Amino acid sequence: MLSLIQILFYVFDIVFDFWFVLILAPLQNRKSGIRNMIYVWAAWAVVRIILFFNPEPTPSFMIHEPLNTILFFATGFVLIAIWFLWNYFKSGQLRKKALGMSAKDLLDLPPGEFEEMTAELYRARGFQAHKTGASGDHGVDVVVKSKDGKTMVVQCKRWRKPVGEPIIREFYGTMHHEKAVQGTIIATSGFTPQAIEWAKGKPMFLYDGNKFIEMWQKSKKQKSLAQQNGG
């Protein structure tokens, strides 16, 4: 009678023959297809490594071994290379677009692109940053990690009117909930005097659209100086 481990080995061996179908499935989501393909590939890479310890491997009936495994790992390396190249290209495009914009132009950006542009600004300044994908006025749009591992949170407001004090208060509570040492709100149309006054003395930064563009310009100058000094 087969043991549970033998059954698992047998099932994994059979399913692994269809790894290319499983990896292609995430392409249905165009926005994160490559990234999800890499996740699926990584999961099956763990399975394939486990299968190396199978004392009685099931012969592949589609692509013979070892070619099947070679193609599998080669596909993973190609996907990872494509992912890094795409992110490099996307970062360059975002930076170029941001440096050619005015504060007024920010209002025409899709919300997701404004958030990604914000995350890219922090990356350009040497931080780790990523969009959260959260929705709603009280959520965190971008999470930033400093070099010493501290967490900072950012909220992006692509509004045509100034952000008021209630939003600042709510975000301050979000900062405590996320255990963030610092919080930033970037609002295209600025803030009300009450909001600015309430934020004084707190670990919060309030940037309007003009300041956001100014920070991009400053980041470009710092990069140019670093390249000159390095040369």
Residue-wise pLDDT for 27-50, tens only, equals 766 666 788 899 999 999 999 999
Mean pLDDT to the nearest integer, 131-159: 85
Band (pLDDT 50/70/90 cuts) for residue 155 is very high
**Is this prediction's pTM over 0.75?**
no
pLDDT score at 172: 95
If asked whether residues 84 and 154 sit together in one domain, one would say no
Question: Would you say how long the chain is, in residues?
Answer: 231
Band (pLDDT 50/70/90 cuts) for residue 9 is confident
If asked whether residues 81 and 149 sit together in one domain, one would say no
pLDDT tens for 156-171 read 999 999 999 999 999 9
pLDDT score at 120: 94
Residue 2 in this model has a pLDDT that exceeds 80: no
If asked whether residues 70 and 105 sit together in one domain, one would say no
Residue 54 in this model has a pLDDT that exceeds 90: no
- Mean pLDDT value across the chain: 88
Domain boundary among 61, 94, 127: 94
Residue pair 172/202 in contact by the 8 Å Cβ criterion: yes
If asked whether residues 82 and 127 sit together in one domain, one would say no
Neighbour count for residue 92 (Cβ, 10 Å): 11
Residue pair 182/205 in contact by the 8 Å Cβ criterion: yes
Helix (H, G, I), strand (E, B) or coil at 144: strand
Report which residue type is found at 154.
Answer: V
If asked whether residues 50 and 107 sit together in one domain, one would say no
Mean pLDDT to the nearest integer, 98-108: 91
| Nearest to 131, CA basis, from 107, 101, 103, 111 | 111
pLDDT score at 137: 43
Q: What are phi and psi of 120, to 5 degrees?
A: -65, -35
In 125-180, where does DSSP find H-type helix? 165-177
If asked whether residues 86 and 122 sit together in one domain, one would say no
If asked whether residues 70 and 114 sit together in one domain, one would say no
Burial class of 53 by CB neighbour count within 10 A (0 to 12, 13 to 18, 19+): exposed
Could you list the residue range(s) of the whole structural domain that residue 79 is in? Answer: 4-94
Domain boundary among 53, 79, 94: 94
Determine which of 72-81, 95-104, 214-223 has the lowest per-residue pLDDT on average: 214-223
If asked whether residues 212 and 107 sit together in one domain, one would say yes
If asked whether residues 84 and 144 sit together in one domain, one would say no
Domain boundary among 68, 94, 120: 94
pLDDT tens for 183-210 read 999 999 999 999 999 999 999 999 999 9
Determine which of 54-58, 170-174, 205-209 has the lowest per-residue pLDDT on average: 54-58
If asked whether residues 82 and 191 sit together in one domain, one would say no
Number of domains in the chain: 2
If asked whether residues 41 and 152 sit together in one domain, one would say no
If asked whether residues 129 and 37 sit together in one domain, one would say no
| Nearest to 167, CA basis, from 152, 180, 156, 178 | 156
